[in-house]
C-alpha cells in the first residue's frame, strides 16, 4: 500500500514538473526611448547624399551583407546577412541579420545617416509550422563599428575623387 502511494505522488508530480519547465519565460528586454535610439543609430557626416549612399552600400557589403534595395530618392538602403541554419530533431533554425540605412540631406554637403540592425530568428517545424522572432540589435559597439567604417569609406571616396 505504501508503495502505491509513492507511485501516485510520482504520477501527480511528474506531469506538473514537465508543465512548469515547458512554460515560456519572459525575457527581460531593455527598452530604449526614441531619443536614445536616435542617438545610438544616427550620425552626421560632411558629404553629399550620393556619396553617403555609396558609402553605406560599400560598408554593408564589407560586413558581409547582401544589399537588397537602394533608392536614391528616399535615401533608403536595405540589406540582409547570409542565413545561418542548422537542423535538429525539432526542425530547422535559421538566423540572419537585417540592416537598413537611411540618408537624409541636411544641406548640399551635410547628411544625417541612420542605421538599424535587427536579428531575425526563424524556426520551421513539421507540417509547415513556422515561428519568427525579430529583435533590434541595441549594442552600441555594433553601431559605433559600422559608423566608423562608413567614416573611413567616405574618407577613401573623397581621397580618390
Least confident of 23-37, 86-100, 110-124: 23-37
**Would you say residue 128 lies in a domain?**
yes
**Would you say residue 4 lies in a domain?**
no
**Would you say residue 20 lies in a domain?**
no
pLDDT in tens, 32-69: 899 999 999 999 999 999 999 999 999 999 999 999 99
What is the distance between the alpha carbons of residues 86 and 75, in angstroms, rounded to a whole number? 35
Name beta bridge partners: 109. Answer: none
Burial of 150 (0-12, 13-18, 19+ CB in 10 A): buried
Domain count, the chain: 1
**Would you say residue 59 lies in a domain?**
yes
**Would you say residue 8 lies in a domain?**
no
Least confident of 10-24, 70-84, 102-116: 10-24
Give every CB contact of residue 71 below 8 A, 6+ residues apart in sequence. 77
Give every CB contact of residue 38 below 8 A, 6+ residues apart in sequence. 114
**Would you say residue 21 lies in a domain?**
no
Q: Which residue has the higher pLDDT, 10 or 120?
A: 120
CB atoms near residue 116 (< 10 Å): 17
Structure pTM? 0.77
CATH number of the domain bearing residue 96:
3.30.310
**Would you say residue 80 lies in a domain?**
yes
Give every CB contact of residue 154 below 8 A, 6+ residues apart in sequence. 45, 47, 51, 52, 55
pLDDT band, residue 8 (cuts 50/70/90): low
pLDDT in tens, 110-158: 999 999 999 999 988 877 778 889 999 999 999 999 999 999 999 998 8
Task: Give residue 127's domain range.
Answer: 33-160
Q: CB under 8 Å, gap of 24 or more: what pairs does 73-81 form? A: 74/102, 75/49, 75/102, 75/103, 75/104, 75/105, 76/100, 76/101, 76/102, 77/53, 77/101, 77/102, 77/103
**Would you say residue 72 lies in a domain?**
yes
Amino acid at each position: 500500500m505504501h508503495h502505491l502511494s509513492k507511485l501516485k505522488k510520482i504520477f501527480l508530480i511528474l506531469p506538473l514538473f514537465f508543465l512548469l519547465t515547458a512554460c515560456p519565460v519572459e525575457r527581460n528586454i531593455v527598452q530604449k526611448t526614441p531619443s536614445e535610439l536616435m542617438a545610438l543609430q544616427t550620425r552626421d557626416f560632411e558629404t553629399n547624399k550620393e556619396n553617403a549612399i555609396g558609402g553605406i552600400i560599400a560598408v554593408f557589403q564589407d560586413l558581409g551583407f547582401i544589399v537588397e534595395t537602394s533608392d536614391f530618392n528616399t535615401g533608403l538602403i536595405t540589406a540582409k546577412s547570409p542565413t545561418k541554419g542548422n537542423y535538429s530533431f525539432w526542425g530547422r533554425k535559421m538566423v540572419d541579420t537585417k540592416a537598413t540605412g537611411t540618408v537624409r540631406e541636411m544641406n548640399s554637403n551635410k547628411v544625417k545617416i541612420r542605421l538599424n540592425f535587427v536579428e531575425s530568428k526563424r524556426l520551421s517545424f513539421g507540417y509547415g509550422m513556422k515561428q519568427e522572432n525579430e529583435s533590434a540589435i541595441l549594442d552600441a559597439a555594433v553601431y559605433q563599428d559600422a559608423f566608423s567604417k562608413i567614416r573611413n569609406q567616405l574618407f577613401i571616396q573623397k581621397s580618390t575623387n
